[in-house]
Structure 1
């Protein structure tokens, strides 16, 4: 029987983690699975609260990765300290429906998959702000990413353990873009990338301009880091590439909304540029963290 380890990194977000844990606790399945939460050095008490809550709700494990501030380092710790044949990555603040794990594993088996991304639906609150409407419209185009960019986001990803043993773990040096780098590495190793469009997970929208700015600063840093650590694949640092994704406003929108989304996208492109050049100018000051780790390390 296939066993599944669900791995969730978290940093200063116990409310989001609680939402995720509650949805996992409601799963009804005969599948042998475990939940491994990895705290990435939270400073607000998330780890202590998580240890109690995860144990009470799921009997799961809470690990600590505080040497490297990176969600990818946290995910790597989860991979190393879990026992499942298949690793499922679910971010804190995401929720899943009751039949999600059964449906996902059925799709994984039917496709004889080694690497699979799921569909992600963004949830919009009542009376959504401009930021929330923009984030929802921009969407989470996982199918597009897999077809054109050859990766799936790590918030909705299933990977067979043997893949990590073959190509290595996530690149923990990256602030953002580690999902793309890993997916591209898996693709280059000859594995098939599969999209389970009928397996749906849920993610809240970012509902403030501040949240969108924080994200795009991080994305900009990640773009520079991809070039720094993987120039053969992404080019040398100096000129930021346009990040992947479907971001252009839909012509079918009302004119006012289309203009507002276009203006916001232009501003956020500038924010990504700021993040990129901040990283470019600071890249020589930080300590080096070595290369991509292997599963055996």
Structure 2
């Protein structure tokens, strides 16, 4: 048995697209899809209720006490009963054989934690969108160098959660890396499936990409606040990891585009710095939210 967990917040169109793709493209025998509403204020809850009434395999959960995708995922984990738990985001689509392929690779590699290939798709052709597709999700590199995979395309065996605990719901960003570090330090085997592909929409506006990078910066400062022995002392940001974003730029891009990508890379690095120091100066420990425990 296996389960799929999808957190969602104010995205009725995205969750409808993702769930319907799952329903019609995977073998639903023994599968439950847990859609966890993170306190949406629009019609998202109505969409989830409609889907769950139409398909018995869809379960509607609500996490409105803690705002954050990691808290929503934890709610799903607490209800899931499958031997393997798969995670997707609410606005994604998948290959027809995504889950089947991922499970086969998980067994072939004999791993407990599996990241999947993530490809970014453009809903509209903008400079920011093309930049985002170039920077993308180098999941294999994440696993090899930093021992984690993003939660937008991740499979984890249930016993891993029972051993190392759930995601850290105190984090606004970076909880996937923090959890991956715990999994790696506990000695579990991690793997990667190139052939199990998830399609994630690229951010096509400067505002949306900047907000994401501010959130990433805040998340790293939070990780230092809660785990200084692992990530360093708060106030001393990590060595920038985004400076190599342009290494992935295709040679066919024009010189003007390459220069624009360089400036975007610098701007996003600055946004991460702004988020980091905002969190350092004004953020506080979220003592009302328990730390993950084994």
Contact in 2 for aligned 1:118/1:200 (Cα 8 Å): yes
Equivalent positions of 1:245-260 (< 5 A) are 247-249=245-247, 250=249, 252=251, 253-260=253-260
Provide the C-alpha distance between the structure 2 equivalents of 1:244 and 1:170, rounded to a whole number of angstroms: 23
Aligned residues: 291
Contact in 1 for aligned 2:170/2:286 (Cα 8 Å): no
Aligned partner of 1:43 among 37, 41, 44? 41
The match for 1:236 is: 233
The match for 1:271 is: 271
The match for 2:162 is: 165
SS in 2 for 1:147: helix
Across the aligned residues of Structure 1 and Structure 2, the Cα RMSD in angstroms comes to 1.7
User: Which deviations, in whole Å up to 9, do the C-alpha atoms of 1:16-51 show, x marking residues without a partner?
Assistant: 111101110112426521100111111113123212
The match for 2:291 is: 291
Q: Which runs of 5+ in 2 are unaligned?
A: none
Aligned partner of 2:189 among 192, 197, 205? 192
Contact in 2 for aligned 1:25/1:58 (Cα 8 Å): no
Provide the C-alpha distance between the structure 1 equivalents of 2:184 and 2:265, rounded to a whole number of angstroms: 30
Alignment of 1:222 with 2:213, yes or no, is no
User: Which deviations, in whole Å up to 9, do the C-alpha atoms of 1:118-174 show, x marking residues without a partner?
Assistant: 001111235x10111000111210001001111000010000000000100101100
Cα gap change, 1:86 to 1:285, in 2 (>3 Å): closer
Aligned partner of 1:82 among 66, 80, 87? 80
Contact in 2 for aligned 1:31/1:102 (Cα 8 Å): no
The match for 2:203 is: 206
The match for 2:172 is: 175
For normalisation by structure 2, the TM-score amounts to: 0.94
Provide the C-alpha distance between the structure 2 equivalents of 1:173 and 1:78, rounded to a whole number of angstroms: 17
SS in 2 for 1:38: strand
For normalisation by structure 1, the TM-score amounts to: 0.93
Q: Which runs of 5+ in 1 are unaligned?
A: none
The match for 1:156 is: 153
SS in 2 for 1:248: helix
Equivalent positions of 1:15-30 (< 5 A) are 15-29=13-27
User: Which deviations, in whole Å up to 9, do the C-alpha atoms of 1:160-208 show, x marking residues without a partner?
Assistant: 0000001001011000000000001100001111001111111111111
The structural deviation recorded for 1:58 is 5.4
Contact in 2 for aligned 1:123/1:202 (Cα 8 Å): yes
The structural deviation recorded for 1:293 is 4.0
